[in-house]
Structure 1
Amino acid sequence: MNFPKRRNIQEELRQKLIIVGSKNPVKIASTDAAFHQAFTGAFLVEGLNVGSGVSDQPFGDEETLKGAMNRAKNSKAVFPEADFWVGIEGGVERVSGEMQAFAWVVVLDKEDKIGKSKTSTFFLPKAILDLVDTGMELGEADDIVFERSNSKQGNGAVGILTNGAIDRKEYYQQAVVLALIPFIKEDLF
């Protein structure tokens, strides 16, 4: 005789802890919003300063994805008691003489299931491209070109260049939700 699987009510009711591999308030807020958008239940989302193991300004898909993966894995190593770990890493890449910006998102759970997603891409103006080519991080280049301070912890290049039509939180949030697909549709992954 098959009995239905016993539900752990305490486990279902307890708040889930999500650790983001960054103290950047935009990355934390986008992760919080994405988990609440994708799932019902209570979540506590906290940021943790961990290394990405890549350049301060990653170039290309491979290095940027590696940075996001390292942030998620390093967060799990430092705080293994959590339920999920999230790494978000922004990168740039040259395409036909121009430079595009994007970010990779990696989500890990306790069973080492991995969800990955990439944001949409957009092209940077030449003034920013020239500064990034000198080795400057995109956020610092944004601050110089747009005469701002600490824009990477605010709306970032995507918000500045779209006049706020797309803010950085929403930009990351969509990618975090997409990275959650293996956890939303567990039976398929």
Structure 2
Amino acid sequence: MKSNVLKVVVASTNPVKGKAALGGFQRMFPQEQFELVAVEVPSGVADQPMTNEETWQGARNRVMNAKQAYPEAHYWIGIEGGVEELEGELASFSWVAVCTGDKWGKARSGMFFLPPAMTELIAQGVELGKANDQVFSQLNSKQKGGAIGMLSDGALDRKELYEQAVIQALVPFKNPELYWKEAGEDPMKR
């Protein structure tokens, strides 16, 4: 077991995002030890991103802002939830961005469609977490199972959905020789 602890800064103080980030790192690199630091930073996009591009930009902006706040970290990770209209329905998903040095990993979570009651609230300017709270008479559900947790009756929750995307975003870091030209450079050794 290595004694070197790698500092991972998650660009959110939402405990669900922190647990998903740490879980993804631990599952991909079980031989490493990680210290998670949560920091609240702006996404630079709307509270409820309404397109794939805006959601990706929010995740990337969060990473850049976390990097400025904690430049001494080994990794910075941004998780941004968003929605997008597809064929008249509203789909929910998230983007994950991970950075170390000048190396980036990125992935989008699975997506699911929202029911009309939530879609109508979001169209009125309500953020998805608050829309979910209203529809299901919950309080702060985005720091718990989220919309997917309520809609799937707990079969899948927000942490699991995000953790899968974190793992996918870490694939290049697990296989650096396949993703980056600097053969032999191992970002885990930073």
TM-score when normalising by structure 1? 0.92
1:69 equivalent in structure 2:
60
Please say if 1:127 is aligned against 2:121.
no
Instruction: Provide the secondary structure at the position in 2 that maps to 1:166.
Output: coil
Is 1:18 equivalent to 2:28 in the alignment?
no
Residue matched to 1:161: 151
Tell me by how many angstroms 1:86 deviates: 0.2
SS at match of 2:149: helix
C-alpha separation between the residues in 1 aligned to 2:170 and 2:28?
8
Aligned residue pairs total 178
Which residue matches 2:184?
none
Query: In structure 2, what residue type is equivalent to 1:185?
Result: N
The amino acid that maps onto 2:138 is R
**Aligned mates of 2:167, 2:64 — CA distance in 1:** 19
Question: Are 2:99 and 1:108 equivalent residues in the alignment?
Answer: yes
In structure 1, what is the equivalent of residue 47 of structure 2? Answer: 56
AA partner of residue 93 (structure 1): E
Give the RMSD, CA atoms, in angstroms.
Answer: 1.0
Structure 1: segments with no counterpart, 5+ residues: 1-8
Match of 1:96 in 2: 87
Matching residue of 1:6: none
- Cα shift at 1:13: 2.9
Counterpart of 2:37 in structure 1 is 46
Structure 2 counterpart of 1:5: none
Establish whether residue 82 from structure 1 lines up as the match of residue 80 from structure 2. no
Deviations 1:88-120 (A, max 9, x none): 0000000111000000000000x2101000000
Provide, for residues 131-177 of structure 1, a one-character-per-residue CA deviation record: whole Å limited to 9, x for no partner. 00011100000000100000011110010100000011111001000
**Secondary structure of 2:156's partner?**
coil
Instruction: Look up the SS of the partner of 1:93 in the other structure.
Output: strand
Matches of 1:46 and 1:151 in 2, distance apart? 22
Distance 1:59 1:20 in 2: 22
Q: For the residues of structure 2 that align with 1:112 and 1:169, how far apart are their CA atoms?
A: 27
1:182 aligns with 2:172: yes
Matched residues in 2 for 1:119 and 1:29: separation?
16
Tell me the secondary structure at the aligned position of residue 13 of structure 1. coil
In structure 2, what is the equivalent of residue 4 of structure 1? none
Q: How far off its partner does 1:45 sit?
A: 1.0
* Letter paired with 2:99: L
Larger Rg: 1
Structure 2 runs not aligned, ≥5 long: 180-190
Aligned partner of 2:131 among 116, 135, 141 = 141
